[in-house]
Structure 1
Amino acid sequence: MSKIYNSTGHEIVIPNITDSDGVYVFDDSGKRYLDLESGVWCLPLGHKNARVNQVIKDRIDSIPHAGFCYSNAVVEDAAQTVLAITHLEDGACVFLCSGSEAIEYARQVSRHITEKPTSMTMHDSYLGSYSSVKNKGKDWYLFDWSECRNCPDQTECKSDCSKLKAIPGDISEFLFEPGSSSGFVRFPPASLIENIVGIVGANGGKIVVNEVTTGLGRTGKWFGYNHYSIKPDMIAIGKGIGNGYPVSVVVLDSRTVSELEAKPFRYMQSHQNDPLGAAVAGEVVNTLADENLIMRAQTLGRVFLKKLITLVDGKTITDVRGRGLMLAVEFREPEVADNIYKGLLENGYIVCNRGTLFRIDPPLTIGKNDFFAFVEKFRELLALHDA
Structure 2
Amino acid sequence: MTDAAVETDWRQRHAHDLMASYAPPLRLLVRGEGCWVWDDEGTRYLDFLGGIAVNSLGHAHPVVVAAVEDQVRRLVHISNYFASPSQLELAERLKRITGAGDAGRVYFGNSGAEANEAAFKLARRTGRPRILALKNAFHGRTMGALALTGKPALQGPFEPLPAGVEHIDSTVEALEQAIRDDVAMLIVEPIKGETGVVPLPAGYLRAARELTERSGALLVIDEIQTGLGRTGAWFDFQHEGVVPDAVTMAKGIAGGVPLGAMVTFGAASGLLQRGDHGSTFGGNPLATAAANAVLGEIERADLVGNAARRGEQIRAAVEAMGSPLVTEVRGRGLLIGVGTTDGAAPAIGAAALEAGLIVNPINPTSIRIAPPLIVGDEEVEAFTERFAAALAAS
The letter of the residue matching 1:92 is: R
CA distance in 2, matches of 1:166, 1:319: 31
Q: Does 1:341 align with 2:366?
A: no
Q: Does 1:102 align with 2:115?
A: yes
Task: Tell whether the 8 Å contact from 1:194 to 1:230 is kept in structure 2 after alignment.
Answer: yes
Give the match for residue 26 of structure 1.
38
The structure 2 residue matched to 1:142, chosen from 152, 155, 167, is: 167
- After superposition, the Cα gap between the structure-2 partners of 1:209 and 1:381, relative to the gap in structure 1 and judged at 3 Å, is closer
SS in 1 for 2:191: coil
- After superposition, the Cα gap between the structure-2 partners of 1:173 and 1:312, relative to the gap in structure 1 and judged at 3 Å, is farther
Give the match for residue 123 of structure 1.
135
Task: Tell whether the 8 Å contact from 1:312 to 1:318 is kept in structure 2 after alignment.
Answer: no
- After superposition, the Cα gap between the structure-2 partners of 1:373 and 1:74, relative to the gap in structure 1 and judged at 3 Å, is closer
Question: Structure 2 unaligned runs (5+)?
Answer: 1-13, 149-160
The letter of the residue matching 1:234 is: A
Q: Does 1:68 align with 2:80?
A: yes
User: How much is the aligned-residue C-alpha RMSD, in angstroms?
Assistant: 2.0
SS in 2 for 1:249: strand
Residues 213-292 of structure 1 aligned to structure 2 (within 5 Å): 213-260=225-272, 264=274, 266-292=276-302
Task: Tell whether the 8 Å contact from 2:37 to 2:47 is kept in structure 1 after alignment.
Answer: yes
- After superposition, the Cα gap between the structure-2 partners of 1:324 and 1:178, relative to the gap in structure 1 and judged at 3 Å, is same
CA distance in 2, matches of 1:194, 1:350: 35
The letter of the residue matching 2:383 is: F
Q: Answer with 132-141 or 363-372: which moved more.
A: 132-141
Give the match for residue 3 of structure 2.
none
- After superposition, the Cα gap between the structure-2 partners of 1:264 and 1:270, relative to the gap in structure 1 and judged at 3 Å, is closer
The letter of the residue matching 2:25 is: I
Task: Tell whether the 8 Å contact from 2:35 to 2:371 is kept in structure 1 after alignment.
Answer: yes
CA distance in 1, matches of 2:193, 2:41: 36
CA distance in 2, matches of 1:162, 1:127: 20
Q: Answer with 207-216 or 73-82: which moved more.
A: 73-82
Question: Structure 1 unaligned runs (5+)?
Answer: 149-156
Residues 1-387 of structure 1 aligned to structure 2 (within 5 Å): 1-14=14-27, 16-90=28-102, 91-112=104-125, 114-135=126-147, 139-145=164-170, 148=171, 161=173, 164-260=176-272, 264=274, 266-313=276-323, 315-334=324-343, 336-354=344-362, 355-385=364-394
TM-score by length of 1: 0.89
Aligned residues: percent identity?
27
Q: 1:51 offset after TM fit, Å?
A: 0.7
- After superposition, the Cα gap between the structure-2 partners of 1:32 and 1:92, relative to the gap in structure 1 and judged at 3 Å, is same
Task: Tell whether the 8 Å contact from 1:82 to 1:282 is kept in structure 2 after alignment.
Answer: no
CA distance in 2, matches of 1:380, 1:52: 34
Task: Tell whether the 8 Å contact from 2:49 to 2:371 is kept in structure 1 after alignment.
Answer: yes
- Number of equivalences: 366
Give the match for residue 151 of structure 1.
none
Q: 1:327 offset after TM fit, Å?
A: 0.7
Q: 1:376 offset after TM fit, Å?
A: 2.6
Q: 1:303 offset after TM fit, Å?
A: 1.3
- After superposition, the Cα gap between the structure-2 partners of 1:194 and 1:295, relative to the gap in structure 1 and judged at 3 Å, is same
Task: Tell whether the 8 Å contact from 1:121 to 1:175 is kept in structure 2 after alignment.
Answer: yes
SS in 2 for 1:193: helix
Q: 1:245 offset after TM fit, Å?
A: 0.5
